Amino acid sequence: MDQLRVEHLNKIFKSKQGEVTALQDICFSVRKSEFVVIVGPSGCGKSTLINIIGGLEERSSGSVQIEGKDVEGPGADRGMVFQGYSLFPWLDVQKNVEFGLKMKGVSKAERAQTAQRYIEMVGLENFAHAMPDQLSGGMKQRVAIARTLANEPEILLMDEPFGALDAQTRVVMQESLADISAKTGSTILFITHDIDEAILLGDRILVMSKRPGTIRDEIEVTLSCARDHSALTDPGFLEIKKRIMDMLWEEMNLSR
């Protein structure tokens, strides 16, 4: 069943210099509990697309539907995680994760219990009362993910969430997110520039063209090996990686 459906989506930015088409005739869907990754050249409109789905930007035309209902703005059915952590520096980990639940009017006892569950899920049970400035970048992003999951959105939208992390922390976070995805069955739409990351995490990969961005190809990720970093040398993994790299290289050459 399709949980998210995007049909003939267009986005045109207007300026004094004229109109710029950022997205053109975007069509795709995401099934319930599916992990879909979007890759594409810089400036192709990936972030614009996910912001429209999140209700943070208006579309010029076309439709975005979640569970058959039109997206007309931000909503509790979508949770967003960005590259920046956006934690409240005056609140500890527990209170940061509880924040959305408090805004919903959830009782103190229930929100504490829910927050604790997700803090444990991201492996920060020993840091529940730590302040954000006491945490590493990877730990802050774990808090951001826990806070989003605690609100139990229907779809998790993630825009380069590991882009600011060092390589070693990024590997740990990839494995952690894969584990969280398996445990929660969350529907995830994930943007990255990292092709290895896309293949390791995604059930399906959408490859976008250069601006105006459109969906150039769709790749089902079917690997016979384990979906961890041991897969990086697997022939099936390398075949998918080459296919994506060839498309992106072609797109970059088209822009010259």
Q: Where are the domains of the chain?
A: 15-77+154-256, 85-152
pLDDT tens figures, 126-153: 999 999 999 998 899 999 999 999 998 9
CA distance 180 to 182: 5
Per-residue pLDDT averaged across 46-71, rounded?
94
pLDDT tens figures, 103-129: 888 999 999 999 999 999 888 999 999
Q: Which CATH architecture has domain 15-77+154-256?
A: 3-Layer(aba) Sandwich (3.40)
CA distance 60 to 21: 10
Three-state DSSP at 56 gives: coil
The percent of residues above 70 in pLDDT, for the chain, comes to 99
* Pair of tokens at residue 86: 């956006």
CA distance 142 to 138: 6
Residue 173 has pLDDT above 90, yes or no: no
How many residues are there in the chain? 256
What does 136-191 look like in DSSP terms, one character per residue?
-HHHHHHHHHHHHHHT--SEEEEESTTTTS-HHHHHHHHHHHHHHHHHH--EEEEE
DSSP-derived pairing of the beta strands 204-208 and 215-220 = antiparallel
CA distance 141 to 161: 7
Q: In terms of pLDDT, which residue wins out, 253 or 73?
A: 73
Dihedral sign of CA atoms 215, 31, 157, 64 in order: positive
pLDDT tens figures, 241-250: 999 999 999 8
DSSP-derived pairing of the beta strands 69-70 and 61-66 = antiparallel
Out of 66-75, 164-173, 211-220, pick the least confident: 164-173
Other beta carbons within 10 angstroms of residue 230's beta carbon come to: 10
